[in-house]
Amino acid sequence: AGIRPAINAGLSVSRVGGAAQTKIIKKLGGGIRLALAQYRELAAFSQFASDLDDATRKQLERGKRVTELMKQGQYQPMSVAEMAASL
Q: Is residue 1 situated within a structural domain? A: no
Q: Is residue 21 situated within a structural domain? A: yes
pLDDT of 78 reads 81
Reading phi first (left if > 0) and then psi (alpha if -120 to 50, else beta), residue 23 is in: alpha
Residue 43's domain comprises 17-86
- For residue 57, indicate whether it is catalytic: no
Alpha-carbon distances of 72 from 32, 59, 69, rounded to whole Å: 16, 22, 8
The CATH number of the domain where 61 resides is what?
A: 1.20.150.20
pLDDT of 1 reads 53
| 87 residues of the chain, pLDDT tens digit each | 556 555 565 555 565 666 777 787 777 777 787 888 889 899 988 888 778 899 999 999 988 888 888 787 888 888 878 877 877
Select which of 4, 15, 40, 65 is catalytic: 15
Number of structural domains (the chain) is: 1
- For residue 25, give the nearest of 75, 74, 81 by alpha carbon: 81
Q: Are 39 and 10 in contact (CB under 8 A)?
A: no
Q: Is residue 50 situated within a structural domain? A: yes
